[in-house]
Amino acid sequence: MALDGSARSASDILRLGRGEKLNVIERIFLLAIVAGVILLDVFGVISTPDADHLRSAVSILATATLALFVASPLVATSALGAAFALSFLVDAQALVLTTAAVAAALVMRLGRTSLILSYTAGFLVATAIVAYSDTDVPVNVGIYLIAATVAGGVGFALRMAFARGQRLEKQLAASAEQERQAVLAERRWIAGELHDSIAHHLTIVSLHVQMLEDAEVRADSQEAIRVAARKAMTDLRFVIDLAEDGPRGSEVQIGDLADAVTEAREELDAAGHPVVFDGDIRDERIPRSAEIILARVARESATNILKYAGSGPIVMSLDVTDEMATLTISNPLAQTPRRGLSSSRTGLERMAERVLGGSGEFRAGDVDGRWVVVARLPIARRPDAAADSVQKS
């Protein structure tokens, strides 16, 4: 694709279908040269008593037209043509033709294709007129043709150089934007991993801190806090290690469904929420990609249950068929909200994002006084999947 883009850019340059503009440095340089030449001509007229003032005026006028290229190449070339026409009245064709040969560089640098072709044709006609006209001083038009050709080549080279520079600037800007987006994606990934890992353990710590005042469960709460803190540190080190390995995308995911469900059941039981589970968490029909997503759903649901669930059993079920794996988690809603446990709804959004990203279906909401989370993921089985399963067993 990069080669195609470069080829198209080079083709656009060669077609010269778009007019250009002088940059600030080019404008200053051109105006300085024009002003310097005009001053020299004026000084020559003043210092030469027998100078032809009309010829000098036409020559100065032709030189001054070069300054018009700063504003409009079309206006400048038109003015130069008018100066050439006036030159026949005072026999100053050679002087104006010299300026026209120099102006070829500006026409090639700035003009559209139509202007370049028109200027080339006009210059050839002008040299032919001068060659066959009767003048007091013989004019070698070949010199002007060579000078115009060299000047035009210089102008074209400058045009290509500036166009290439602009193209490189755009490429650098696009590359910088890609790097910025990559950094933002990396930050979002780290933030998401920290939320999924650390927020869960901090919720457990916050919950059991509130239970430390109860002497009957203080020992269990202290143990739960110790375990949650250790797991939080382990997960934090894991996320840091992944981040230090280099830029990663959202596709870097970890999770084991059996471990996630077992851990959630232990944490919920420790917090006083009995869990009723139905299904085979080690069903081999669940592909690894779906298992990772369901593990995250189970873990995040456990976090939300610890925050908001009311008293009563927690029901978890895993239904697996050859086409679909469905994880359903429901809990009773609390009559009064817990204090000290904030909510940003980030967990629900990330669960939905993961499930939908796996071409699945996600639902979460109040159903008959219970909060129900349903995650359904398709199971893509290859024709040889059954044979592979037999060989593994």
How is 259-293 classified by DSSP, letter by letter? HHHHHHHHHHHHTT--EEEES-TT-TTS-HHHHHH
CB 377 within 8 A of CB 362: no
Phi-psi region of 359 (alpha: psi -120 to 50; beta: other; left: phi over 0): left
CA dihedral angle for residue 204, residue 207, residue 211, residue 213, rounded to 10 degrees: 110
The C-alpha atoms of residue 330 and residue 247 are separated, in whole angstroms, by 37
Least confident of 99-108, 237-246, 362-371, 383-392: 383-392
Closest CA to 372 of 323, 308, 286, 290: 308
The C-alpha atoms of residue 59 and residue 384 are separated, in whole angstroms, by 89
Name which residue leads in pLDDT, 247 or 76.
76
CB 10 within 8 A of CB 161: no
Q: Do you know the residue count of the chain? A: 393
pLDDT tens for each residue of 42-54: 888 888 877 778 8
User: What pLDDT sits at residue 3?
Assistant: 42
Residue labelled with tokens 């994606």: 185
Phi, psi for residue 206 in degrees, rounded to 5: -60, -40
**SS3 category, 225:** helix
CB 110 within 8 A of CB 92: no
What is the helix, strand, coil percentage profile of the chain, to 5? Answer: 65, 10, 25
Beta strands in 283-367 (DSSP E): 314-320, 324-332, 361-367
| Average pLDDT score over residue span 244-273 | 71
Name which residue leads in pLDDT, 143 or 209.
143
CB 275 within 8 A of CB 302: no
Whether pLDDT at 256 is above 70: yes
DSSP 253: -
DSSP 231: H
User: What pLDDT sits at residue 326?
Assistant: 94
**SS3 category, 371:** strand
Structure tokens at 383: 């024709």
Whether pLDDT at 141 is above 70: yes
CB 324 within 8 A of CB 376: yes
Q: Which residues of 9-28 are buried (b: 16+ CB within 10 A; e: fewer)?
A: beeebeebeeebebeeebee
Name which residue leads in pLDDT, 188 or 143.
143
Phi, psi for residue 211 in degrees, rounded to 5: -100, 0
Side-chain-facing half-sphere of 374: CA atoms under 13 Å: 11
**What is the H or E stretch that residue 378 is in?**
strand 370-378
The C-alpha atoms of residue 10 and residue 167 are separated, in whole angstroms, by 10
Percentage above 70 pLDDT, the chain: 80
Whether pLDDT at 18 is above 50: yes
Q: How far apart are the first and last CA of the chain?
A: 47
CB 89 within 8 A of CB 59: no
Q: How confident is the model at residue 161 (pLDDT cuts 50, 70, 90)?
A: confident
Side-chain-facing half-sphere of 10: CA atoms under 13 Å: 6
Within 309-372, where are the H helices?
A: 346-357
Closest CA to 63 of 88, 100, 116, 25: 100
Compute the mean pLDDT over every residue in the chain, rounded to the nearest whole number.
79
- DSSP-assigned states of every residue in 24-54: HHHHHHHHHHHHHHHHHHHHHHHH-TT--HH
CB 126 within 8 A of CB 112: no
| Average pLDDT score over residue span 110-120 | 88
Longest CA pairwise span in the chain (Å) = 123
Closest CA to 326 of 292, 375, 260: 375
CB 83 within 8 A of CB 108: no
